[in-house]
A and B are shown apart, each in its own frame.
Chain A
Amino acid sequence: QKEVEQNSGPLSVPEGAIASLNCTYSDRVSQSFFWYRQYSGKSPELIMSIYSNGDKEDGRFTAQLNKASQYVSLLIRDSQPSDSATYLCAVKGGSYIPTFGRGTSLIVHP
């Protein structure tokens, strides 16, 4: 059973701080990794994709991948109240069937 684990939270950070969201996965042959943001009652929205070890930056978002440790993270710099949402980590392995984590709830308070 391929698993993707996320801390359910909530993770509470003050406005302007860095929010760090973490995800671990069990399938060693995983190839592609994605972060989605989902507001309550809405569908998931793709934030970042990462395919190779290291960091990938896009605006205030940085995805970090460490395949040896089977670990992927998402950093949100200068967090805003509008970033308050559930963040889903998704992993695709060799079969390309995506497995989603249960999500981490982020609360950014003014």
Chain B
Amino acid sequence: KAGVTQTPRYLIKTRGQQVTLSCSPISGHRSVSWYQQTPGQGLQFLFEYFSETQRNKGNFPGRFSGRQFSNSRSEMNVSTLELGDSALYLCASSLNTGPTEAFFGQGTRLTVV
């Protein structure tokens, strides 16, 4: 069974640009969550999508947005990139929303210069 697939694995962007990251969940999983991981802040929850609807949102500015498609694949967008957005962005999929286990993809390493 294939795991969670994130693309691209690495990305370098310039301040002010925008970026779109993609996540394909485990087959049959309907919930996709996004996280930001930095050495300073640790692993922080961005948002969760389930059945194409945002179910939960973390404490991040509106520059961070996402969406989910009917096949459960999800994209995350960051607009007007700042240096502080440099981080490992992780996607996790779960069978359903709620108190369920989440399985992480390999992540996208974003560097903003």
Question: Do B58 and A31 have beta carbons less than 8 Å apart?
Answer: no
Question: Do B105 and A88 have beta carbons less than 8 Å apart?
Answer: no
A-B contact count (CB 8 A): 47
Interface of chain B, main secondary structure: strand
For A, the interface residue count at a CB cutoff of 8 angstroms equals: 22
Query: A46 contacts which chain B residues (CB < 8 A)?
Result: 101-104
Query: A31 contacts which chain B residues (CB < 8 A)?
Result: 99
Query: A95 contacts which chain B residues (CB < 8 A)?
Result: 56
> Which one of B45, B55, B105 contacts A99 once the chains associate, using CB atoms below 8 Å?
B45
Size bracket, chain B contacts: 20 to 34
Query: B101 contacts which chain A residues (CB < 8 A)?
Result: 34, 46, 49
Is the C-beta of B61 less than 8 angstroms from some C-beta in chain A? no
- Which chain B residue shows the least CB distance to A92? B99
Closest A-B pairs by Cβ, 7 of them = A32-B99, A100-B43, A43-B104, A102-B42, A43-B107, A31-B99, A97-B56
